[in-house]
Amino acid sequence: MIMRKLTLALAILFVAATGVSAQILEPVKWQFGAKKINNDEAVVFMKATIDKGWHIYSQNIEEGGPIKTSFTFSPSNEYALIGKPAEPKPKSKHEEVFGMDVSYFDKEVVFQQKIKLKKGSTTVKGAVEFMACDANQCLPPDEIAFTVAVK
């Protein structure tokens, strides 16, 4: 009976200890979708929901600054990109660590990419690269792949 309690106690301690050390920070969650504007055009939506106290950077960051948010799209014969991804007006602040003003988003942001459809429906594949920071740290850049059906 004592041995069983000791084994149970050790198992609980082991789970508690490894659970704490295995915590992975993921302050940004991405969602992707699309909407047809008409038979020839659609918009792909790329939404970031950002945990309180964290932010990601605009697509428009000068050299020497933080890793900017960027999108890549897999080439396709079924659609063509129209321009670059649009973003809302970002916030801006001076960051001493980079010695410059930087544009960023907190809470949530929706980027939009217009596409010209070459057929009625398609699948858009791509990836977003971004860097999340809070007041104390920046996480290594992350890349999230996405696939969006346009119907």
Rounded percentage of the chain residues whose pLDDT exceeds 70:
85
Domains and CATH numbers, the chain: 27-150 (2.60.40.1250)
58 against 11, higher pLDDT: 58
Residue 98 clears pLDDT 90, i.e. is over it: no
Please give the model's pTM, rounded to 2 decimal places: 0.83
SS3 readout for the chain: CHHHHHHHHHHHHHHHHHHHHCCCCCCEEEEEEEEECCCCEEEEEEEEEECCCCEEECCCCCCCCCCCCEEEECCCCCEEEEEEEECCCCEEEEECCCCEEEEEECCEEEEEEEEEECCCCEEEEEEEEECEECCCCECCCEEEEEEEEEC
